[in-house]
A and B are shown apart, each in its own frame.
Chain A
Amino acid sequence: MRNAFIRALEAAARSDPRVVLLTGDLGFKIFDPFAAEFPGRFINVGVAEANLIGVAAGLALGGMRPFAYSIAPFATLRCLEQIRNDVCYHNLPVTIIGVGGGYSYGHNGPTHHALEDIAVMRVLPNMIVVCPGDPVETELAVAAAAIHGKPLYLRIGRAGDARVHESAPEFRIGEAITVREGRDCTLVSTGGILPVAVAAAARLSEARISCRVVNMHTVKPLDDGALRRSFEETGALFTAEEHSRIGGLGSAIAEWAVANDRPGPRHSFGADDCFASLSGSQAYLRERAGLTAEHMAATIAAKLGRRAAC
């Protein structure tokens, strides 16, 4: 997703001279073409995330459209008050790019894992939270963010994220994408776990369970219509995210259910409330968190009373 992000940002910068890219000293070499094509509009502020966001806010006050880039936990937590006060309170068109959603930085350890970022960004007034599901969506999300004009947190993966969409889908911030149709249940996914959710639905299909997959790439604001339709047409909702089960997509949909007098998700797939105690690759850590197609399919089947089938 990282390469998709920078390609799309180069395109956005070509069409809008207000687009500037700031980094907190991360993104070795990948920004070289941007810096060469747009001199002065690539700024490495150094290892200083508070300043990264404060400067981005000032640039936005001055009429620019800054994109501030760092590894997801650094881009969201180290500078949380700057995001809250400088960006969100002023309702400024700053896009914060968190690279490495979930366990993308596997062996780098919990300091680099992003399992709280959606929760923390989601609670901020005025903030929009977008977690593309694959590189295709990432490109579309960057293009949308560049013209959106509001505070926006864009949580992307790292490298090697599987492609889900064969062609570019219609992408609008706040509008979920139905990736796979289904009648018996809906698996609502956000972020880079989307290919796993799609694979889970495929496994369920083999067991004759028709599982819809809705990619809720925008966690805030949620797509109210897509959730209503999924409840009405498929009955049971499940959620999947590479994020703590506290505060992320599952929580957001549970809050939505309370506000709309509906039953909540039957199960939320996500990380336990703990730091990874062992070093591991993204695949390993996903498996330990139950974020595999096998585990999701088996759990959904069991919840639907079809234990034997899957």
Chain B
Amino acid sequence: MIADVSTLEGCARKVRADVLRMAHAGKAPHVGSALSCTDLLVALYWRVLRIDPVHPENPQRDRLILSKGHASTAQYAALAERGFFAKSVLEEYARDGGRLGEHAGPHCVPGIEAATGSLGHGLAIGAGLALAAKLQSAPYRTFVILSDGECYEGSVWEAALFARPALLDNLVAVVDFNGWSAMACTFETLHPLADKWRSFGWAVQEIDGHNFDQIVAALESTPYEEYCPSLIVAHTVKGKGVSFMERDLEWHYRPPSDDDLVRALREIGA
């Protein structure tokens, strides 16, 4: 069954609602970061990735690494909604003794391929996985979601420089370009981001990261060039879907209050 755009939109509403509920219950930050990459995760988990929630360890499965690990609520929620584990597990988020930390631990729940949290790690790990697939002639692909602020890390560019000569056309990186790092606007300092990646030998597409037609088209047409790793610059909105959270850095830090949650869920239509 191929998920169509309206299905994806419905899933995204559920995931966003879960993100807000988890952040509220866990009194945890980074809501804006989770909401900006929600549509990317939904497109991947419901449409693009060759995965089976019943067999999460299948060696041939596609891999997804959320290198911007602070957006973990969106990944936990997507995995639960997709059936990797019971939705009740989401209640363990940021709770004493719970399995779900603010940054995912190694294999803390089915579907988590790598622990992240410190920025700049996921792309090299993803490159290693993609290289392992090449060495084993395995068909799986590796997807890595990075934040824009993460692109300040030198290790991102070490991995970027490595991937093209290693011919990793089974590696796809997506930059969730929501325009904000933890303290600053990134538009000017990272501009032109796509050209930077192109100059490292990546084939690049720029899309609206909240338009499912564009997201799916970009993710399903990789590799864009033979032997080249693929990079998607997804232009997104931090806090997407909740008007009073959009483009407001406050929501990188502030957990939603009771009132915030009610208003936000109403806007999402969950």
Q: Which residues of A contact B (CB under 8 A)?
A: 20, 40-41, 43, 45-46, 48, 50-51, 53-64, 66, 81-82, 85-86, 89-91
Closest residue of chain B to A66 (Cβ to Cβ) is B128
With A61-B132, A63-B132 as contacts: A55 and B162 at CB distance below 8 Å:
yes
Interface contact B124-A82, CB-CB below 8 Å: yes
Taking CB atoms, residues of chain B closer than 8 Å to A90 are 106, 114-115
Interface contact B129-A20, CB-CB below 8 Å: no
The complex places the Cα of A226 from the Cα of B89 at a distance, in Å, of 46
Interface contact A54-B106, CB-CB below 8 Å: no
Tell me which of B113, B114, B117, B132 contacts A59 (CB under 8 A): B132
Interface contact B117-A85, CB-CB below 8 Å: yes
Closest residue of chain B to A56 (Cβ to Cβ) is B128
With A40-B135, A45-B162 as contacts: A62 and B129 at CB distance below 8 Å:
yes
Interface contact B129-A58, CB-CB below 8 Å: yes
Closest residue of chain B to A79 (Cβ to Cβ) is B155
With A41-B135, A89-B106, A90-B115 as contacts: A58 and B125 at CB distance below 8 Å:
yes
Tell me which of B118, B123, B136, B159 contacts A62 (CB under 8 A): B136
B192 within 8 A of A: no
Closest residue of chain B to A59 (Cβ to Cβ) is B128
The complex places the Cα of A253 from the Cα of B114 at a distance, in Å, of 34
Tell me which of A45, A46, A48, A58 contacts B132 (CB under 8 A): A58
Tell me which of B105, B126, B166 contacts A43 (CB under 8 A): B166
Tell me which of B117, B131, B155 contacts A50 (CB under 8 A): B155
Interface size on B, residues (CB 8 A): 33
B127 within 8 A of A: yes
Interface contact A51-B129, CB-CB below 8 Å: no
The complex places the Cα of A91 from the Cα of B154 at a distance, in Å, of 24
Q: Could you give 28 example pairs across A and B, Cβ below 8 Å?
A: A40-B134, A45-B158, A46-B158, A46-B161, A50-B154, A51-B124, A51-B162, A54-B125, A54-B128, A55-B162, A56-B128, A58-B114, A58-B127, A58-B128, A58-B130, A59-B131, A62-B128, A62-B132, A63-B132, A64-B132, A82-B121, A82-B155, A85-B115, A86-B125, A89-B106, A89-B115, A90-B106, A91-B106
Annotate B19-35 by CB proximity to A: 1 below 8 A, 0 otherwise.
00000000000000000
B207 within 8 A of A: no
The complex places the Cα of A57 from the Cα of B138 at a distance, in Å, of 18
B193 within 8 A of A: no
Tell me which of A41, A60, A89 contacts B128 (CB under 8 A): A60
B10 within 8 A of A: no
Interface contact B154-A43, CB-CB below 8 Å: no
Interface contact B161-A57, CB-CB below 8 Å: no
Interface contact A50-B136, CB-CB below 8 Å: no
Interface contact A48-B162, CB-CB below 8 Å: yes
Taking CB atoms, residues of chain A closer than 8 Å to B132 are 58-59, 61-64
Tell me which of A53, A58, A91 contacts B131 (CB under 8 A): A58
The complex places the Cα of A40 from the Cα of B137 at a distance, in Å, of 12
The complex places the Cα of A45 from the Cα of B118 at a distance, in Å, of 22
Taking CB atoms, residues of chain A closer than 8 Å to B113 are 61
Interface contact A55-B128, CB-CB below 8 Å: yes
The complex places the Cα of A81 from the Cα of B158 at a distance, in Å, of 15
How far apart are A152's CB and chain B's nearest CB, in angstroms? 17
The complex places the Cα of A9 from the Cα of B120 at a distance, in Å, of 30
B133 within 8 A of A: yes
Q: Which 5 A/B pairs are nearest by Cβ-Cβ distance? A: A58-B128, A54-B124, A62-B132, A51-B158, A48-B158
Interface contact A61-B135, CB-CB below 8 Å: no
Interface contact A43-B131, CB-CB below 8 Å: yes
Interface contact A55-B159, CB-CB below 8 Å: yes
The complex places the Cα of A64 from the Cα of B136 at a distance, in Å, of 9
How far apart are B156's CB and chain A's nearest CB, in angstroms? 10
Taking CB atoms, residues of chain B closer than 8 Å to A53 are 124
